[in-house]
Structure 1
């Protein structure tokens, strides 16, 4: 049935009690003031062997030890800049502990200008409430460590994470915790337990390049939009499995309550690079919508942006995990998705750092403009 000419328009879900009339009004708070200029790489990581995994996204340091980098703030800062520029960075066979992950996760943001009020995210489904209290070495886990467990995912989200699901795999593309008012900047995942056979790869896609694939007209349209990000699954899991949810201070004083809904600009400026990225796309808005447009328009935009992510393999990178490998990515500018093609156990520990409140700076540039002088 064709949509009616009187089709309803989505009301804007508010971050505050005042209705923003333009995306420009979604400015960061005073404490989250963006950097005046993009940060410059100092060259401190040049001593380590590295290579770009694809032209657009991904860099691997096959021999570097994160424990060595942790000793030097300049190297941590350069690592953060590299992650923000390349989207995701990989390290092989690392011996960092969960405490090392936490220190690194917080420093990546602190050394690149995140607000003092932004700490490490505490997942709404606490480890202790899920029966996940120790890591692979028997160390007690606190709530700033998010355990990535295939067994837990299959228990709570059976249809999405079954190896024999009939769902389309590309529906899973997302950035972490965008339902929070102040979402993530950097995330660090170390996989310590792998399936006995093959499978369990992770893919990342560049939000910078998604923006650059749009025509200038579509870019301007996207820059004027906001989107409501929602995650209703937590409430369902809480009800069906009797799991309590954390309602207070999930890494930022602004991340509280049990709504798990936030409004963000569709095009986001990364303060570290100064580059524009599509942010309102993928699974994170599957239960939400594009604000202030009709329902049909919202669905069309959501479908188109997801198509750009899922169908352009040249803006993606696929990583095959080995035991104790580590991936670090910038949630402001990349999407990722798991590959649920295995039956065995797959588990790791993730640290998610809280960054700044998302904003769009109309004076920011695209990745192609910054690197090649042309869009």
Structure 2
């Protein structure tokens, strides 16, 4: 059975499920025994290639656009994701690719509109290998954490027995063609504070390494695996929907639109470095994990408000959720994730810092 194509399933408004109301009534996630064929390779056409480099359709129609930090994170006010024009969708793709993550508050977009936005414009939708979903909506991944979650030991360890820094990950990076964009809307927050999410820039994480370490990393590949997720699900009586959950990707990858180099490892799914001994691999990966966790100069922390949306590029960011609210209340939302190209490294590509410096030098020369 192939994953459903949401474009072929037009759900009348009166038949659409309000998953926020489901969450208010209690834990609702469905874990059917459905399995799917392995994901097949496809050619990804990134819409960021056909955008306006000035992103005018966004900037001229928003009431406010501002960067949260210098290296990652931009917030846009005055635009509804449910009403984007095709040009705005293209321009948004470039902005996300450049800034890593873009935030929108007070959004009216619902899960069905999210499915349409993702599948019609940004790429095939991903169905998570083990996570639960709303009834008959396998492409929607709910974010549901609170006291009423029927947790297994595996799930409790994930939220309560790990350091927060162990939670850094790029969504399902173990796939052959891992995700490009993730759209996440949080519609229920646990209280006045708590439940923030952090993102880190793979661009700047790479730029902050020494030239010798960069040379060492470029060309190396790492194994990414979701086996622990699959094994944990099966052990708790759930289903692993696909069996092929381990693939190898470059440690430094090139973004197809920006052309910038990005560090592409994280403790969530990266397991080992190809060609190195276990000791060498563990030592180098731990160094990189510590580099990511301690990179406060290339991180952004977002404080959620109800109906805020974050859209990020998994190819050049990692993120970590903060589980500091589990005794306080419920946090709920939903996620749509699109697949992109197979990760690659182009030795001719530049880093973000190199290109921005080059553009600055060229501008100064023109005005001299």
**TM-score range for the pair, normalised by the shorter chain length:** 0.7 to 0.9
Residues 264 and 315 of structure 2 are in contact (CA less than 8 Å); yes or no, is this contact kept in structure 1? yes
Separation (CA, whole Å) in 1 of partners of 2:219 and 2:300: 29
Q: Aligned to 1:123, which of 125, 128, 144? A: 128
| 2:215 paired residue number | 220
| 1:90 paired residue number | 103
Query: Unpaired segments of 5 or more residues in structure 1?
Result: 1-28, 111-118, 134-140, 248-257
Residues 76 and 107 of structure 1 are in contact (CA less than 8 Å); yes or no, is this contact kept in structure 2? no
| 1:105 paired residue number | 118
Separation (CA, whole Å) in 2 of partners of 1:227 and 1:267: 10
Residues 180 and 313 of structure 2 are in contact (CA less than 8 Å); yes or no, is this contact kept in structure 1? yes
Residues 126 and 246 of structure 1 are in contact (CA less than 8 Å); yes or no, is this contact kept in structure 2? no
**Could you say which structure has the greater relative contact order, defined with CA pairs below 8 angstroms and 6 or more residues apart?**
1
After TM superposition, give the deviation of residue 149 of structure 1 in Å. Answer: 1.4
| 1:46 paired residue number | 59
| 2:26 paired residue number | none
Q: Which digits, 9 at most, give the CA deviation of each residue in 1:32-60, with x for residues without a partner?
A: 48899796344211121110000000000
After TM superposition, give the deviation of residue 198 of structure 1 in Å. Answer: 2.1
Separation (CA, whole Å) in 2 of partners of 1:194 and 1:328: 18
Q: Aligned to 2:163, which of 168, 175, 184? A: 168
After TM superposition, give the deviation of residue 30 of structure 1 in Å. Answer: 8.0
Separation (CA, whole Å) in 2 of partners of 1:278 and 1:200: 26
Q: Aligned to 2:202, which of 195, 204, 207? A: 207
| 2:250 paired residue number | 265
Q: Aligned to 1:73, which of 77, 86, 94? A: 86
| 2:349 paired residue number | 364
Could you say if the C-alpha distance between residues 107 and 52 of structure 1 is closer, same or farther in structure 2, counting changes exceeding 3 Å? farther
After TM superposition, give the deviation of residue 373 of structure 1 in Å. Answer: 2.1
| 2:72 paired residue number | 57
Separation (CA, whole Å) in 1 of partners of 2:255 and 2:95: 13
Secondary structure, counterpart of 1:31 in structure 2:
coil
Query: Unpaired segments of 5 or more residues in structure 2?
Result: 1-40, 361-368
Residues 266 and 279 of structure 1 are in contact (CA less than 8 Å); yes or no, is this contact kept in structure 2? yes
Per the normalisation by structure 2, the TM-score is: 0.79
1:280 matched to 2:265 = yes
Per the normalisation by structure 1, the TM-score is: 0.78
Could you say if the C-alpha distance between residues 356 and 145 of structure 1 is closer, same or farther in structure 2, counting changes exceeding 3 Å? same
Separation (CA, whole Å) in 2 of partners of 1:92 and 1:62: 7
Secondary structure, counterpart of 1:45 in structure 2:
helix
| 2:296 paired residue number | 313
Could you say if the C-alpha distance between residues 298 and 108 of structure 1 is closer, same or farther in structure 2, counting changes exceeding 3 Å? farther
Residues 191 and 324 of structure 1 are in contact (CA less than 8 Å); yes or no, is this contact kept in structure 2? yes
1:291 matched to 2:291 = no
Residues 41 and 82 of structure 1 are in contact (CA less than 8 Å); yes or no, is this contact kept in structure 2? no
How many residues are paired up? 312
After TM superposition, give the deviation of residue 231 of structure 1 in Å. Answer: 1.8
After TM superposition, give the deviation of residue 125 of structure 1 in Å. Answer: 2.0
| 2:43 paired residue number | 31
Secondary structure, counterpart of 1:55 in structure 2:
coil
**Residue range with higher mean Cα deviation, 146-155 or 260-269:** 146-155
